[in-house]
Structure 1
Amino acid sequence: MRTILIVFLALLVFSCKQNTSVKKVSMQEDVAILANDSLNGRKTGSEGEMKAAKYIANRFETLGLQPKGTERFYQKFTYKASKNPHQEAEFTTENNDSTQTGKNVIAYLDNNAENTVVIGAHYDHLGMGGEGSLYREGEAIHNGADDNASGVAMMLHLADSLQKRDSPKKNNYLFIAFSGEEEGLLGSNYFVKNPTINTKKVTYMINMDMVGRLNSEKTLAVYGIGTSPVLKQIVNANAGDLNIAENESGVGPSDHTSFYLADIPVLHFFTGQHEDYHKPSDDTEKVNFEGMKLVSNYIFSIIKDLDSQPKLAFRKTKNESEVVPDFKVTLGVVPDYLFSGKGMRIDGVSQDKPAQKAGLQKGDVVVKMGEHDVTDMMSYMKSLSKFDKGQTATVTIDRKGELVEVEVTF
């Protein structure tokens, strides 16, 4: 596969220079290249991430898009990583052993329109693991096929679709592959503070992060529907066969947050967390490519519907002021973020963690922890923050319609 990557990159560069037609690249091919072992997990600032950046820039050029970075397609940023996980990294102009450099990859489709739509996806991942990894058996390549080669592949697919003759033309389109998302939304934060276009002319931003695991119920989470008055109706009107799990908030753990905080309406698309999240097992063969086509077509239909709208009005959403509490313990589960019922449904259980030791299973719905009712994700997190290491609590779960109490020791 390493040979395939080298040959593919060479062909892309050659085709750009020759200005000849190029074979259409599928989302599956893009994911396979970006999630290949030869990129060593695309950690921010690494050689593998630089290879991925070059691949994306070449794809942009092959698609006929204009460079819109500060150095052709690239926008570099240097930062000093924080040793405290609760503190943000610091951007700096220094370049030494204590700093790291990320690189956003930016392209532009100019329709000579008044306003611009930003379409983004982060392309960095966790490298060999370390901070942020849920893998506990030493170093291993974290390929991040779903997180977030899938989002980049979908962005490239949309970039291709938006150039066709019958595509919406009343907005320009700025495509950004963000670096540094896993380090704390660094690339999107840097772009918003150092934009390469006039962000006052940005009508809305679309973000795709982990869009490669559409489940059998075809449930897709769409965040940000409250960030402009028109979004809720358009998001639902175009759903088709998809089951939309709505969330009004413009704030979340991905790059749309940076744009929302700059008073830009956002939509963030997410097919849900899974047991391979932030583990070496997040590989290409587990991606649902038919599901990706469905999601990509859905996003395109939303873009097409919004094309007739004037610049979208921005609206602040209700829950951005809710602060995620600090935790002293972990339950050791992967929540099902697509669950819209009462409680917190478990989508995966980690080995040798409190939940697994207590017998909790995938599909269980946590409805109470000790004295604290759990009605949704926020109440679950608030409840979890009340416990100390070594403490034992009665956790009530709904297991296939039956309430079960288990003793959990944190």
Structure 2
Amino acid sequence: MRIVLLLCLITTTLFAQEPTAARISKHIDYLASDKMKGRGTGSKENVKAAQYIAKQFKKYGLTPRGTDGYFQEFTAKVRRVVVPDSLRKTVNVIGFLDNGAPNTIVIGAHYDHLGMGLQGSSLDSLPQGKLHNGADDNASGVAGMMELAHYYANNDVKEPYNFLFMGFGAEELGLQGSRYFLNNPTLPLSSLDYMICFDMIGRYNPDRGVGIGGYGTSSDWPAIFKGVTSPIKFFTDRPGNGGSDNAAFYAKQIPVLFFHTGGHPDYHKPTDDPDKIDARSEEAILKLAITVINNSLTHDKLPFTTVK
């Protein structure tokens, strides 16, 4: 009877830590609210977004792994629409779950967006001065990254890998945050097993399904995905060098996976708002990601494969 009760308690604890649509919505509603003014690189709202991520990392008990606590500051070149290019300070936000293992899995998402249409690549015909909330791109991915941080930090399981959770700055300006980290790593790159990138996972289309890129970047991915099922439709794609910050890791010969729900008419427009997010489907996507990650834990460090 005691064993049964213990198993029930463990199962209940694990379920309590799993991603939930309610927490996903809470994160997205904050990051993509009008008061955050699109989280443009160098803005005070971009700083608030970074502080919000760091606050969650601290709440989950992650160890700071930046150069100043959770923050790794760098200078981004901001390409703006109506004034000359400029340099602005921004940060990567980095939290570490130390399981005492030799190798580390990276889970990342970029938290910046296009601000008020004065930087980046808005697809609106007249973007200047228009609020680009970036709910799907990429508040949805940041929410996903933080939900996995919450899960692995609180599931009472000591996995045989460490986890590095990262909120990247200045992705919209050319993957500048992830590239800066890879050129100035706060962990040895040789210890990084693989990288999972969440970018635009909030607009699930059941006809298309969620795409998982990078399937060809390691010869071990087919075995890891074998038998994986989900209540949502998903498909894999071999290339790892496109889409988002995963491309920067792929360039350093680190295996990657890139989760995304595809493009839509609101992409890079002022209409990418929180009320269009499908949080329940994102919850299912994150549970799918956890299944894949947990399957990978029985494998040795993944070999890298160049995708032709």
Q: How high is the TM-score relative to the length of structure 1?
A: 0.66
Q: Secondary structure at the match of 1:277?
A: coil
Aligned residue runs from structure 1 range 238-249, under 5 A = 238-249=228-239
Structure with more helix by fraction: 2
How far off its partner does 1:147 sit? 0.3
The residue number in structure 1 matching 2:164 is 174
**5+ residue gaps in structure 2?**
1-19
- For the residues of structure 2 that align with 1:39 and 1:176, how far apart are their CA atoms? 20
Q: Are 1:203 and 1:311, in contact at CA under 8 Å, matched by a contact in 2?
A: yes
C-alpha displacement of 1:69: 0.3
Tell me, what secondary structure is at the counterpart of 2:257? strand
- 2:129 paired with 1:132: no
**Separation in structure 1 between the aligned mates of residue 40 and residue 225 of structure 2, nearest angstrom:** 33
For the pair 1:108 / 2:88, whether they are aligned, the reply is no
Q: Does 1:221 align with 2:222?
A: no
Displacement after TM superposition at 1:244 (Å): 2.5
Number of corresponding residues? 283
- 1:26 matched residue in structure 2: 23
User: Can you list the C-alpha shifts for 1:210-261, whole angstroms capped at 9, x where unaligned?
Assistant: 0001113360111100010111342353232333332111100300011111
For residues 32 and 249 of structure 1, do their structure 2 counterparts lie closer, same or farther at Cα, with a shift above 3 Å needed? same
Q: Secondary structure at the match of 1:234?
A: helix
Q: 1:167 to 1:281 in 2, by over 3 A?
A: farther
Match of 1:69 among 61, 66, 69: 66
Question: Do 1:66 and 1:107's aligned partners in 2 also have CA atoms closer than 8 Å?
Answer: yes
Aligned-partner Cα distance in 2 for 1:160–1:169? 14
Q: CA deviation at 1:166?
A: 5.3
SS in 1 for 2:215: coil
Which ranges in structure 1 are unaligned for 5 or more consecutive residues?
1-23, 85-96, 319-410
Looking at CA atoms only, which structure, 1 or 2, has the larger radius of gyration?
1
Give, in whole Å, the separation in 1 of the partners of 2:135 and 2:299: 34
Counterpart in 2 of 1:60?
57
Are the structure 2 counterparts of residues 168 and 292 from structure 1 closer, same or farther at C-alpha, using a change threshold of 3 Å? farther
Q: Which structure's relative contact order is higher, taking Cα pairs within 8 Å and 6+ residues apart?
A: 2
Alpha-carbon separation, structure 2, partners of 1:295 and 1:186: 26
* TM-score, with structure 2 as normaliser: 0.87
Using the TM superposition, give the Cα deviation of residue 39 of structure 1 relative to its aligned residue in structure 2, in angstroms.
1.1
CA distance in 2, matches of 1:278, 1:309: 38
The 3-state SS of whatever aligns with 2:172 is: coil
d(CA) in 2 for partners of 1:218, 1:82: 33
1:119 correspondence with 2:107: yes
SS in 2 for 1:176: strand
1:78 equivalent in structure 2: 75
Identity over aligned residues, as a percent? Answer: 42
Q: Alpha-carbon deviations, 1:350-402, whole Å to 9, x = none? A: xxxxxxxxxxxxxxxxxxxxxxxxxxxxxxxxxxxxxxxxxxxxxxxxxxxxx
Amino acid at match of 1:201: S
* Other-structure match for 2:246: 256
Paired with 2:101 and 2:230, the residues of 1 have a C-alpha distance of 29
Name the SS of the counterpart of 1:41 in structure 2: helix
1:135 Cα shift?
Answer: 1.3
CA gap 1:49/1:223 in 2 versus in 1, 3 angstroms: same
| Structure-2 change in CA distance of 1:309 and 1:159 (3 Å) | same
